[in-house]
Structure 1
Amino acid sequence: MTLIFAITTAILAIAVIGLWMRLRKRTQHLTYIHQKISDILDQGTFERLLVFNSDEQVSQLLKDMNQLLDHAHRAKAGYANQEKEMRNMLSNISHDLKTPLTVVLGYSETLLHSPSVTDQERKIMTEKIQDKAQEVLRLIHSFFDLAKLESGDTELVLSRVNISELCRLKMLSFYEMLTNLGLHVELEIPDGDLFVQANEEALDRVLDNLITNGMKYGAEGKVLGLSLEYSTGGPVTLQIWDQGKGIPESEHSRVFERMYTLEDSRNRLYQGSGLGLTITKRLVERMGGSIHLHSVPHQRTVFSVILKAW
């Protein structure tokens, strides 16, 4: 009986000691977690926590906390990027507003304070003021259009759109401007009409932006092309291309950013509001599609819009 009691007592003692050691180790682990979290909060770092294999529950807690830290790190990086982008956008908008307004003020002061201005000079200056005022208005409209798109306030109703006919009409509307620029037009549109799931007004604006972009920055290549491609069961691909100076490969991933500019002289490739391609991308995405860029300078710069067939 004494032997049994001794054995039982020993077993209980071992169990208690084991429990005490586990509790002590868990307390050490929790103290470590508390200290690391405090350091992370105080220092603003996102250092990961060491995962212990000896305690399954603590180990799972640490894994979950590391995932939370990863999420917080990505959120902070995204916020910092947006903040930088917003500062750049405001700086560029200020620049783009200041330039035409300076011209407007200059001509208006001349008209007000120079009585010797001839009627012909007055007419030219008035036209310049009108052009620059329209430029400011276009920039303001572009800024608010993008703001509405990104806030989700603008609802795009999708329907069955004849993209073949829309492309034909759009290129016809640009024909005189293209001819005046000395641009040869190459069209590749299938004989049968192609239909896509889209918003006709939004798609019309996408075409406007991409064709205008090609005219501005690809004119030296003397050709502007538009093609439509479709394979049974797949999407419809719209491509607008030119053979101009193109875009460096290192910049391809950034051309759709708000107010994107190259460092060289406020982006010689994308002068102006810097919002056209951003709005284009947002519109395409709101229609359930995607847009891509491929550019080999002086050979072929192509914007490809991929939309669901209807």
Structure 2
Amino acid sequence: MVIFLSLLVLLLTSYLAFIIYNLFDINRQLDYIITHDTNAELVSTSKSFLIRRFLDSNNQLIQKNKQVHREHWNNEKEFHQSLSNLSHDLKTPLTVSSGYVQLLLKKQNDSTTQELLKKTESGLLTIENYLSYLVEYTLIHEKKLQMDFEMVNFTQLIQEEAFVYYENFLTKNIELSFDLEDNLLLISDLTVLKRVIQNLLGNILKHGQTKAHFTGKKNPNQILLTIKNDSLQSIDPDENLLNRFTTNDRSRQNKSTGLGLNIIKELVELLDGTIQLTTEKTSFQVDITLPIRSNT
């Protein structure tokens, strides 16, 4: 009897150890499935009815979650594509309308009509700014889903984008200067990098004055970009201008939403970079760090 009970205890202990081992193995597989983008399912060599039933139920749940995720991803993609199409569809008539208003301003001499046209032009410009922010956020969402990495000459990119804005800086009497190392190469998403530079230049045009200076250099793993410019308004150093909707335009005369610097921050972070602001009275500095990445 004692031998029988001893054998029974041994068998039960062995079975319990076997179940615990299988549960640990299943938990390890679950951890992998949760943290990786994979089509893997739970597997086990166990013939235990409980283990098999447990595996089947969990695999059904995994498949259901994957299906929901796929449907959600497709719906999000379609929604933001529609939003992007709508934004671009609105851009053309808005640009045309602004052109007509500017043409009328040149031809109208009546002061009342001039005033009304200027208010209309201001309203159209505000709508255009909001629309630009919408386009940027649509791009950010799309790039969170899929980045397109390629070799980029960052030095050349900055120079080319600055040239596009050259006439605008001349008009505002802002002098641009550059101290960029030759051939700052990195592997990155060209579209996002362009948007970063365009938004930085646009921010200087909107809020800067007199001069702006770009410095670019690299260390073994990163490219360091620094932009310094004088600001039209005094800057409160306690304000976190990288926060969404925070704006230094307290009068709201420019209809600023405070989204500009936040968009730059989100674009930089999409590239796994960092951004830091330093302000002192009317001096404004942006420091951006971008990973170079390896092409191997």
Q: Per the shorter chain, which TM-score range?
A: 0.5 to 0.7
Say which SS state the counterpart of residue 146 (structure 2) adopts. coil
Among 195, 214, 230, the alignment partner of 2:204 is: 214
Matched, 1:258 2:249: no
Letter of the structure 2 residue corresponding to residue 258 of structure 1: R
Cα distance in 2, alignment partners of residues 166 and 187 from structure 1 = 13
Query: Residue 190 of structure 2 corresponds to which residue in structure 1?
Result: 200
Deviations along 1:204-250, whole A, 9 cap, x unmatched? Answer: 1111111121222221xx1111111112x131011221123452221
Task: Write out aligned runs for 1:263-282 (5 A).
Answer: 264-266=250-252, 271-282=255-266
Cα distance in 1, alignment partners of residues 172 and 258 from structure 2 = 22
Among 293, 304, 307, the alignment partner of 2:277 is: 293
Matched, 1:234 2:221: yes
Letter of the structure 1 residue corresponding to residue 130 of structure 2: L
Cα distance in 2, alignment partners of residues 215 and 246 from structure 1 = 16
Say which SS state the counterpart of residue 243 (structure 1) adopts. strand
Say which SS state the counterpart of residue 276 (structure 2) adopts. strand
Contact preservation (8 Å) 2:246, 2:257: no
Contact preservation (8 Å) 1:188, 1:226: yes
Contact preservation (8 Å) 1:246, 1:301: no
Deviations along 1:233-281, whole A, 9 cap, x unmatched? Answer: 1310112211234522211xx2122221359434x7x852322211111
Letter of the structure 2 residue corresponding to residue 229 of structure 1: K
Query: Residue 11 of structure 1 corresponds to which residue in structure 2?
Result: none
Between 1 and 2, higher relative CO (CA 8 Å, sep ≥ 6) is seen in 1
Q: Determine which structure has more spread, i.e. the larger CA radius of gyration.
A: 1
Cα distance in 2, alignment partners of residues 288 and 305 from structure 1 = 11
Contact preservation (8 Å) 1:211, 1:240: no
The structure-2 alpha-carbon separation of the partners of 1:185 and 1:250, relative to structure 1 and needing over 3 Å to count, comes to same
Query: Residue 175 of structure 2 corresponds to which residue in structure 1?
Result: 184
Task: Write out aligned runs for 1:152-191 (5 A).
Answer: 154-190=145-181
Among 93, 101, 108, the alignment partner of 1:120 is: 108
Cα distance in 1, alignment partners of residues 200 and 139 from structure 2 = 20
Over the residues paired in the alignment, what is the CA RMSD in angstroms? 3.6
Shift of 1:197: 2.8
In percent, how many aligned pairs have the same letter? 20
The structure-2 alpha-carbon separation of the partners of 1:259 and 1:143, relative to structure 1 and needing over 3 Å to count, comes to farther
Q: TM-score, normalised by structure 1?
A: 0.52
Contact preservation (8 Å) 2:241, 2:258: no
Size of the aligned set, in residue pairs, is 190
Q: TM-score, normalised by structure 2?
A: 0.54
Contact preservation (8 Å) 1:143, 1:275: no
Query: Residue 6 of structure 2 corresponds to which residue in structure 1?
Result: none
Shift of 1:139: 0.7
The structure with the greater share of residues assigned to strand is: 2
The structure-2 alpha-carbon separation of the partners of 1:162 and 1:154, relative to structure 1 and needing over 3 Å to count, comes to same
Cα distance in 1, alignment partners of residues 279 and 199 from structure 2 = 17
Query: Residue 74 of structure 1 corresponds to which residue in structure 2?
Result: none
The structure-2 alpha-carbon separation of the partners of 1:148 and 1:170, relative to structure 1 and needing over 3 Å to count, comes to closer
Letter of the structure 2 residue corresponding to residue 289 of structure 1: G
Contact preservation (8 Å) 1:184, 1:223: yes
Cα distance in 2, alignment partners of residues 263 and 279 from structure 1 = 17
Cα distance in 2, alignment partners of residues 248 and 176 from structure 1 = 30
Contact preservation (8 Å) 2:278, 2:286: yes
Among 269, 273, 285, the alignment partner of 1:302 is: 285
